[in-house]
Structure 1
Amino acid sequence: MNTNLSRLNSCTWFSEQTKALASQLLFSLQIQQGVQLASLLGVDAILYNDEAIYVWVQRQLDDGLMIDDYTLSTLETAFIELVTAHTDQAA
Structure 2
Amino acid sequence: MKVYLFTFGLSFGSREEAKAILNKCSSVKGWRTDMMRSFYLKSEESADTIAKEIREHKKTGRFIVVEITDNSQGWIQKDSWKFINDEKNKK
Q: Normalising by structure 2, what TM-score?
A: 0.36
Structure with the bigger RCO (C-alpha within 8 Å, sep 6+) is 2
Query: By percentage of residues, which structure has more strand?
Result: 2
Decide which structure has greater helix share: 1
